[in-house]
Amino acid sequence: MSLSDALKIAEESGVDLIEISPNASPPVAKVVDWGKFQYQKMKEQQKNRKNAKTVELKQMRMSLKIGANDLEIKLRKIREFLSVGHKVKILIFFRGREMAHQELGYEMINRIASQLEEIAIVEQKPQMAGRNLSIVIRSK
């Protein structure tokens, strides 16, 4: 249908001619009430925003000298965060002379990552930021 015919039909109906897909061959247009079209589009966007799942970044801090049982408790909490769908930033902080033994922190991070590898993927490699060694993981 030609543009002039489509405009004539829209004018007779008292509604608007809206170009839906201008890049298609031939371009796709629709004869619709503009106000109603915008309202439906806005409602659809609101519905999509409501259904969108927000991914939070949870943080778990631990010392280099953490006990085995305390570590298990923290790992259990990390697994809960991952099962809900959150990302988790694991942060190991160094105190005083512990900075001289950063390799122990990297070993600990690798041990934690290996314990979580069946349910998690390492998203950000271990990196030092001041006195903190951090890694970001997310669920598979």
Do 66 and 44 belong together in one domain? no
Q: Which two tokens stand for residue 77?
A: 């909490």
Do 22 and 61 belong together in one domain? no
Q: Provide the pLDDT for residue 69.
A: 95
CATH number of the CATH domain containing 70: 3.30.110.10
Q: Which residues touch 125 (CB under 8 Å, ≥6 apart)?
A: 135
Dihedral pair phi/psi, residue 111, rounded to 5°: -65, -40
Do 40 and 62 belong together in one domain? no
Do 46 and 63 belong together in one domain? no
Dihedral pair phi/psi, residue 105, rounded to 5°: -65, -40
Query: Per-residue confidence of the chain (140 residues) as pLDDT tens digits?
Result: 788 888 888 888 888 888 888 888 888 888 888 888 899 999 999 988 888 777 789 999 999 999 999 999 999 999 999 998 899 999 999 999 999 999 999 999 999 999 998 999 999 899 999 999 999 999 98
DSSP state of 99: G
Domain of 93? Answer: 57-139
Do 73 and 110 belong together in one domain? yes
Q: Give the span between the Cα atoms of 87 and 33, in whole angstroms.
A: 44
- Residue where a domain stops, chosen among 15, 35, 51: 51
Residues in the chain: 140
Q: Provide the pLDDT for residue 5.
A: 84
How many domains does the chain contain in total?
A: 2
pTM here is: 0.62
Q: Provide the pLDDT for residue 24.
A: 85
Do 130 and 81 belong together in one domain? yes
Do 14 and 47 belong together in one domain? yes
Q: For residue 34, with 0-12 CB atoms within 10 Å meaning exposed, 13-18 middle and 19 or more buried, which class applies?
A: exposed
